[in-house]
Amino acid sequence: MEEKNQEKKEQVLKFVGSAYQNNSLNKDGEIVKLNTPFYNVTIDKDALKGLKSDNKGMLYFAVHQRQDLEPDSKKPNCFIIEKNKNIIDIDSVKDFSVKKSEIMGLPTKDFTNADGTVKQSICLLITTDGVIKLNNKALGLEGASPILEGKAYEINTLLRKAELVKKIENTETANNPKYAAVIKEMKNIPDYVGGGYEKQSGENKFCHITLNRNDLSNLPSDNYGNVKLDVVARKELGKDGSSHFVIPSTSTYKGYNNINADYEVKFKKEDILNPKLIQTDTFKKDGADVKIDKVHITINSNGKVTLNKGLYENKGVDVSGVQFEGKANLVDKEARQKAYQNAKEAINAKAETKADTKKADTKEEKKTKKSKGAKL
């Protein structure tokens, strides 16, 4: 029954427009890749008329990537739907809101359909930092594009998948092949993916990391094909002399920052799984030969993540022609610990307030009952 209800809720999603997701920008003739894309959005004005806004007058939408386009297609690579608060939308890459009264009053661009009817379209621009503007350029208008009331934000699809799994894993919906695949993906996330050795050379600090390629292959990537890892200091050196262990990023896969992480590392999954980067170690376990495929990278003091070419050379693996680059953030552990403590205190204060309110309500209820039971 629950599975049918889930499917029914998905069927009532309302398509209101389309969008181009732009992952790069032409700046002075040079193509610059963007960490966060921007979107050119076109919304059908007629489709908005029947949508109901909330008590603040806001409408809510989700951007879904189209999966049916050819690589070189000139058609919009995304479509826009009305956000359905009753489902956990694991397909959205961007959610945004606009004020209905404001968007309905915007100038439109007219398109003539094949049957001769005219469609009025509202042209918007969603910037990389989530600001929503009227797209003056698309409308042929001069001057700066006015900013609209509302906000757009990137979706952590992996967190939504984890939330969905928690909701459906013990229900009939879990048997649906679509959701069974999601459950398998999230359940297969490994606990550990490698170890690291931190080195100091003068004022520069390096961390050489060895990753288990098989574990990496089971790590889901985000909407842009990236995997993110936390590098955490060991309380004591490992048996192999390692100073750190490497785990899947808690911020990406569990929804909270790791307060013990020294580094956060991000790179393209397809790059780290390049077969040319494999270095295989063989050892005996219970009398049998065991092979582990490893990948070796280095976090430099400037935050760049590169291949540990020296270790590859020592292992007899030639990676001279392989291009690989990632990014690393040095975590401000003190600030993160403080934020964690503040959040913990806020939660405790809220719980105490709730308990005090419940206690006062109970006391007042007993007082009222006693008053009603008094004899005159």
Task: For residues 229-257, give the mean pLDDT.
Answer: 92
As a three-state string, the secondary structure of 217-259 is HCCCCCCCCEEEEEEEECCCCCCCCCCEEEEECHHHHCCCCCC
79/196 Cα distance (integer angstroms) = 43
Task: For residues 222-239, give the mean pLDDT.
Answer: 92
Lowest-pLDDT range of 103-112, 239-248, 342-351: 342-351
244/255 Cα distance (integer angstroms) = 22
The answer to whether the CB of 6 falls within 8 A of the CB of 87 is: yes
Cβ neighbours around 335 below 10 Å, total? 9
pLDDT at 373: 58
Residues of the chain with pLDDT > 70: what percent?
90
Is pLDDT of 7 > 60? no
DSSP string, 307-372: E-HHHHHHTT---TT----EEEEE--HHHHHHHHHHHHHHHHHHHHHHHHHHHHHHHHHHHHHHHH
Task: For residues 251-280, give the mean pLDDT.
Answer: 94
Strands 204-212 and 288-299: antiparallel
83/152 Cα distance (integer angstroms) = 13
Handedness of CA 22, 28, 31, 36 (dihedral sign): negative
Residues 305-343 have pLDDT tens digits of 999 999 999 999 999 989 898 999 998 888 988 888 888
pLDDT at 8: 46
Is pLDDT of 3 > 50? no
Residues of the chain with pLDDT > 90: what percent?
62
How far CA 222 is from CA of 168, 299, 327, in Å, comes to 21, 21, 15
pLDDT at 237: 87
Mean pLDDT of the chain: 88
pLDDT at 366: 63
pLDDT at 66: 92
Is pLDDT of 364 > 50? yes
7/337 Cα distance (integer angstroms) = 42
pLDDT at 28: 80
Residues 6+ apart with CB under 8 A from 303: 327, 328, 329, 330
330/201 Cα distance (integer angstroms) = 17
Tokens of 352: 């105490």
Higher-confidence residue of 289 and 104: namely 104
Among the listed residues 298, 262, 281, 275, the one whose alpha carbon sits nearest the alpha carbon of residue 217: 275
Is pLDDT of 9 > 60? no
Residues 41-51 have pLDDT tens digits of 999 999 999 89
Element (H, E) at 16: strand 15-27
Task: For residues 264-274, give the mean pLDDT.
Answer: 96
How far CA 127 is from CA of 25, 119, 143, 204, in Å, comes to 12, 25, 17, 37
Among the listed residues 276, 278, 319, the one whose alpha carbon sits nearest the alpha carbon of residue 295: 278
- Give residue 33's Cα distance to chain centre: 18
Is pLDDT of 6 > 50? no
Residues 65-78 have pLDDT tens digits of 998 888 888 899 99
Is pLDDT of 57 > 90? yes
Highest mean pLDDT: which of 147-161, 190-204, 359-373? 147-161
Query: Angle at Cα 79 formed by Cα 134 and Cα 43, nearest 5°?
Result: 35
